[in-house]
Amino acid sequence: MTKTDCRKIVKEKLKGLTKESGKNFSLSAENFICKSKAFSECDILLLYSGTDNEVSTDEILNAALKENKIAAFPKTIPNSNRMNFFIVEEKSDLQNKFKKGKWNILEPDEKLCRKFNLEEFYGKNILVIVPGVAFDLNGNRLGHGKGFYDVYLSSLKNECKKNKCTLTFAGLCFELQLMEEIPFEENDVKMNCIFTESKSYFFESTEKYSAGL
């Protein structure tokens, strides 16, 4: 099965997800993250602005700001497959300092938000919440094929080594977006864990936790 095949299958499943179910599933998945060790131990959260077919990150942002963690959101660089993250100081920034980008996704206004620069955060613990079209039970991720996250996450790994930072990649999706196996290429970045509305999957320890644990 090709990556294109996998995308078609998952996108067809997502068509059956109602708005109400999506909202409830998002809250459950976000709750898993907020109660996780990865969240409690992190100093910095790199989030994303969700679309209708993605798990929201609103409650994760609320929890992060409440605990005085640093939170940042991505902005794509035009005519490239690269992006930068910009820091959110408070929840209202999403309304006052964000605007719709190329794919109609809310992005930080780089003129109003401070760019996230890892060199300013030596030795910190970073948790990256990663969206995707699909994930599999080996920690592999399938995006939309543009390469933004693979490029950024690969670069971030190298920067973290230089700055002695701890780095965790956490996939966030609906359970229906999980597949048994998806095609994996050398430049694809694997997740350390994946959170859905019903389970948390940890691949370094191959442990699986059910809802309520």
| 20 exposure class (CB count in 10 Å sphere: 0-12, 13-18, 19+) | exposed
Q: Is the pLDDT of residue 8 over 50?
A: yes
Q: What is the pLDDT of residue 14?
A: 96
Residue 80's pLDDT is 92
pLDDT, one tens digit per residue, over 50-105 is: 888 999 999 999 999 999 999 999 999 998 999 999 999 999 998 899 998 878 89
Given a contact cutoff of 8 angstroms between Cβ atoms, the answer to whether 91 and 64 are in contact is no
- Entry pTM: 0.92
Averaged pLDDT, 135-156: 93
Please give the pLDDT value at position 204: 65
Considering only CA atoms, which of 1, 11, 39 is closest in space to residue 132? 11
Sign of CA dihedral 113, 119, 122, 124: positive
Q: How many CB atoms lie within 10 A of CB 190?
A: 15
